[in-house]
Amino acid sequence: MMASRDLKSKRVGVLMGGLSREREISLRSGRNCLAALERLGYDAVAVDVGRDVAAVLEREGIEVAFLALHGKFGEDGRIQGLLDILGIPYTGSGVLASAIGMNKAFSKKIASFYDIPTPAFSLIDCHGDIASACDPDRLRIRMPVMVKPCEEGSSLGVTKVDESDGIEPVVRGLCEEYGQVIVEEFVAGDEVTVGLLEGEDGFLELPVLQLVPRESEFYDFKAKYSEGMTEFILPARIPAVTADRCQELARAIHRAIGCRGFSRVDFMIDAGGVPWFTEINTLPGMTDTSDLPAQAREAGMSYDELVEVMLGSAVPRQARAPR
């Protein structure tokens, strides 16, 4: 971790906005983080990421990047690769971990390899025979199912399908809209998320957050970003042994993927108390209704303190292109 005193003399660019479908959410996260850094006395400026971002970073004299980007081009390793080339340290995970974390199929495959329970799924080739791929006998996944874009965040496009004859039309629609799609077995139970923060001496303890949407059947885009649409239960109303298991599995997938600094890991807990990994977020939301700030607040950490811990993850990567 880079000490805050070392960063006080650096010009920090808060990268926000971007080119993804989550642009508006990213702007909300970024503005909050920028305000926190300014309150803390950092020399911080907003950088609205467009295709000219490299030129903007040079023009603004950015020495450290605080990433408040969400979705494609920001959370999937692409901006991380550019920053590596430019020699600018940045917060959070590197290129490979970001790319894997953004891809639900790859992150679930890694989870399976490390014996981390994750719901059965099938990756649909949107350029292949979709009808055949959606055939229940070929899928071999119990109904109901969740159909999800493979590389989108904020629950964009996520759809619950209760009958097998409803899978194909949903898949076709998501393929046209988003590209790669996964069909995943639905796990009925409690939806929880684990926030992870790396400190100098290991992970900082944050409580498990239970999410109970007030109108939606699951924690969808509207439930995530509309104030009052979700009940946050902190700490989660689950047995202590289950909460400990969620924490353990979250740390395991964070390490297995190679994440750095912070992440947020989502689980469904079935009727038997087994946590099932569904996805990892390498750049968690930092809006007024986001999960990670709520978990930090419950642990006694202010929003500004959380942002400063996250900023400390902006250590120079070992691999550095010549300048």
Out of 17, 225, 261, 303, the active site residue is 225
Out of 26, 93, 281, 313, the active site residue is 281
- Our answer to whether residue 114 is catalytic in this structure is no
- Our answer to whether residue 31 is catalytic in this structure is no
Out of 23, 285, 290, 303, the active site residue is 285
Per-residue tokens: 284:
């968690």
Out of 23, 78, 251, 264, the active site residue is 264
- Our answer to whether residue 154 is catalytic in this structure is yes
- Our answer to whether residue 266 is catalytic in this structure is yes
Angstrom distances, CA of residue 161 to CA of 145, 146, 167, 225: 5, 6, 6, 23
CA distance 170 to 182: 11
- Our answer to whether residue 303 is catalytic in this structure is no
Out of 94, 279, 303, 313, the active site residue is 279
Residue corresponding to tokens 């509309």: 226
- Our answer to whether residue 285 is catalytic in this structure is yes
Out of 168, 184, 220, 266, the active site residue is 266
With b meaning 16 or more CB within 10 Å and e meaning fewer, what string describes 194-211? Answer: bbbbbeeeebbebbbbbb
- Our answer to whether residue 279 is catalytic in this structure is yes
Out of 29, 103, 107, 154, the active site residue is 154
Out of 17, 20, 21, 22, the active site residue is 22
Q: Which residues are catalytically annotated?
A: 22, 154, 225, 264, 266, 279, 281, 285
